[in-house]
Amino acid sequence: MKTVLLLSTYPIASPRHGGQVRVANIASTFEDSGWSVTHLAVYEPEGYPPSTLGPNDVKFPAGSDFRKYKGAYVPLINDLLSGEFAASEEGGFPEILKKLPPAIDVIHVEQPWLWPLVLKIKQMPQYRNACLIYGSQNIEAPLKQEILDSYGIKGAAPVIADIEALERKAALEADIAVAVTQADYDILKAWGAAMPLLAPNGIAPWTAKADALETWKARLPESPWILYVASAHPPNFKGFNECLGSSLACIPPDSKLVVVGSVCEHLEATLRDSRWGQLNLSRLQLLYMLPDEDLDAVKTLAHAFLLPIPHGGGSNIKTAEAIYSGKYVVGTESAFRGFEQHLSQPEISVARSPAEFHAAIRGRLTGPASTDGKGPDRASREPLTWARSLEPIPQAAAQVIEKKAQEA
């Protein structure tokens, strides 16, 4: 049985945010293709409680000297700093070494942060023939620039330069470089990736249970309402205000914007602090984090999905879910990165300004149900599933391994 070492900067035992969900599904896709998978996360313990950890996860302690960038503390870049920590004998490497399987055919790292660790492992004689896969979830440098700018963090130019150098290095040195959108694929190819591969984000099909549907039907508005599901990733609440102009006046008085996920407390604060704070709070229903069974019911009952993603790279798993639902979807052009082929579907609305968002949301919430009671056409949306979107990765890995064996 072939073995893959799957590396990330977050645990995947209880996947919640998009990165975790993608890595968990990559692990499942390899396993379904007959591979043995060892997942190892180098994670920030302040962000992940013990209940969410796997047996091979290694913490990047808050007090570590490796939390400094060139001797100084810079906010919001622990992902970048984790690579040096993980690859250092004074950092996490001795612990990581104990958790490595005796043989590794493929080392697959999601995002560029742990590339120094990949190279350190590859230098060891028993792993020197491993196939290296770089999973690029975004072109990270401009995205990090955007996040640091949004928090007013100055003097970050060296950080951004280091991130771009790291992701270019990973793209060049990997046997396979995986992109989630065609635009990212084109960038990896232009950088000189040996084997660029497109494996879009996907979804896990869901079916809500009858008792959960009854419970949530009683708790949610009777009138049509719109759903926003997001993590506490800063662009998810800063971008929301940019798209909707800090106002929920487009939501009818008997309806609600229903919000699920760790974005809730941040979004509530930003909407409360706007000049329309009281109106906003009256149109908001916050559900916070929900178990999957409850989230499935809420997604099934939604009249429409909201995707206020103003810019950034990569693609959004929530977009795949929204399209798969067959419900109305209102989003930015950026929200549909990687899913452009679905833009012609009649239930999808693209908004380019707060005024267009307000008009589209109001129109959808006062219109008929998008599926007319028939439910979504799931068969036509089957390519959106993880099983289909990720299957090229183990296939390409097997090809590289076979080629290496022939050349040996």
pLDDT digits (tens, 9 = 90+) for 111-150: 999 999 999 999 999 999 999 999 999 999 999 998 899 8
* pLDDT confidence bin for 84, thresholds 50/70/90: very high
pLDDT above 60 (res 243) = yes
* 378 and 394 assigned to the same domain: no
Structure tokens at 16: 């919640």
* 322 and 248 assigned to the same domain: yes
* 187 and 304 assigned to the same domain: no
Domain that holds residue 252: 210-384
Residue 363 in any domain: the answer is yes
Residue 366 in any domain: the answer is yes
* 75 and 45 assigned to the same domain: yes
Residue 60 in any domain: the answer is yes
Specify the pLDDT at position 370: 65
3-class DSSP state for residue 299?
A: helix
Residue 338 in any domain: the answer is yes
Residue 296 in any domain: the answer is yes
CB 304 within 8 A of CB 364: yes
- Cα dist from 239 to 76, 250, 266, 296, whole Å: 17, 17, 12, 25
pLDDT above 60 (res 63) = yes
Structural domains in the chain (count): 2
Specify the pLDDT at position 312: 67
Residue 225 in any domain: the answer is yes
* 364 and 395 assigned to the same domain: no
- Which residue type occupies 4? V
Q: Using one digit for the tens of pLDDT, what is the confidence trace for 204-240?
A: 889 999 999 999 999 999 999 999 999 888 888 888 9
Contacts of 206 (CB under 8 A, 6+ apart): 292, 296, 299, 300
Contacts of 141 (CB under 8 A, 6+ apart): 160, 161, 163, 164, 167
Residue 205 in any domain: the answer is no
Segments of 211-278 assigned E as strands: 226-229, 257-260
Residue 204 in any domain: the answer is no
Q: What is the mean pLDDT of the chain?
A: 93
* 57 and 136 assigned to the same domain: yes
* pLDDT confidence bin for 367, thresholds 50/70/90: confident
pTM of the model: 0.84
* 146 and 161 assigned to the same domain: yes
Q: Which residue has the tokens 């409680």?
A: 49
* 12 and 74 assigned to the same domain: yes
Chain Cα centroid distance, residue 205: 17
* 115 and 11 assigned to the same domain: yes
* 394 and 377 assigned to the same domain: no
The burial class, CB within 10 Å (0-12 / 13-18 / 19+), for 236 is: buried
* 357 and 307 assigned to the same domain: yes
Work out the average pLDDT over 318-335: 93
* 280 and 191 assigned to the same domain: no
Domain with residue 251: its CATH number is 3.40.50.2000
Structure tokens at 392: 């090229």
pLDDT above 70 (res 378) = no
Contacts of 4 (CB under 8 A, 6+ apart): 30, 35, 36, 37, 38, 104, 105, 106, 107, 108, 394, 397
Q: Using one digit for the tens of pLDDT, what is the confidence trace for 274-324?
A: 999 999 999 999 999 999 999 999 999 999 999 998 876 778 889 999 999
Q: What percent of the chain has pLDDT over 70?
A: 97
